[in-house]
Amino acid sequence: MSHPIVADRSKLAAVCIDMGSVVVDERLTWERWQGQAVRHLKQSGVPVGRAQLRQAVRAAMMAHAPRVSAHAFGALGGDPGLTQEVWKHVGNHDRPLAYAAQALERLSARYPLVMVANQGLHARGLLEGAGLDRYFSHLLLSDEIGIAKPDERIFHLALDHLKIEPERVAMLGDRLDLDIEPSRRLGMLAIRIRRGPFACQEPARPEQTPHLGFNSLTNAARWLAS
């Protein structure tokens, strides 16, 4: 079902925000994963280097594969089932972006904010440790609630918490498949933050085209809060 989209930002009443590559920098986590992944692949008889792995990961991202790392392993001739084991060894090394607090402070002064993110159980502690949780009225983290994007139920939970119709809520995220498409289907204002590993994604269909795009949370906050 299509919905009318509020183009006038003065009518927006709330903002939902993704975490990875929007509030935190994921590059170190991905770099460490690549190192571990190359070792696992070589040990299993698949002689690949980082360059080949990076190409396979990028291809999986551009193909909008639901499980990027597993897709890349399979494309290289490895066992896709090994990827979860690799991630366990790597852990999470995401760090808050230097400008995140200032951008969130600017946004939260005007709108209630809800985080809608596919994240592990580490995420709440990371946000609390950096003092970023205080800018959000609610944190919807997939591993805590058992629902992950693009499942629309996680967006409905955000809207239920806000008690605001979707046409008056913006969604800020980096992924076209997980953030832009489902929020557009619900009638939200879909804003892409084009940075991080998934910046290479291009729309596979019209529903994945964002209404607006910015290269950082700072610039999105400047537009939304001006």
**How is 158-199 classified by DSSP, letter by letter?**
HHHHHT--GGGEEEEES-IIIIIHHHHHTT-EEEEE--SGGG
Angle subtended at Cα 150 by Cα 146 and Cα 155, rounded to the nearest 5 degrees: 75
Predicted confidence at residue 193, as pLDDT, reads 98
pLDDT tens for the 226 residues of the chain, in order: 334 444 568 889 999 999 999 999 999 999 999 999 999 999 999 999 999 999 999 999 999 998 999 999 999 999 999 898 899 889 899 999 999 999 999 999 999 999 999 999 999 999 999 999 999 999 999 999 999 999 999 999 999 999 999 999 999 999 999 999 999 999 999 999 999 999 999 999 999 999 999 999 999 999 999 8
- Quote the tokens at residue 52: 């080949």
pLDDT of residue 1: 36
| pLDDT of 138 | 98
CA-to-CA distance for 177 and 215, rounded, in angstroms? Answer: 18
Beta pairing, strands 212-214 & 189-193 = parallel
- Rounded to whole angstroms, the Cα distance separating 114 from 102 reads 16
Please give the Cα distance from 203 to 211 (Å, whole number): 12
Rounded Cα–Cα distance for residues 50 and 39 (Å): 10
Q: Residue 66: its pLDDT value, please?
A: 87
In what helix (H) or strand (E) does residue 214 lie, and over which residues does it extend? Answer: strand 212-214
pLDDT at residue 85 in the model: 87
> Whole-angstrom Cα distance, residue 11 to residue 169?
9
Identify the residue whose tokens are 């609630």. Answer: 145
Q: Are 6 and 170 in contact (CB under 8 A)?
A: no
Separation in Å, CA 122 to CA 89, 94, 118, 140, 186: 14, 10, 11, 13, 29
pLDDT of residue 165: 97
> What's the pLDDT at 3?
43
The closest alpha carbon to 116, from 145, 148, 140, belongs to 140
Quick one: pLDDT at residue 4?
A: 44
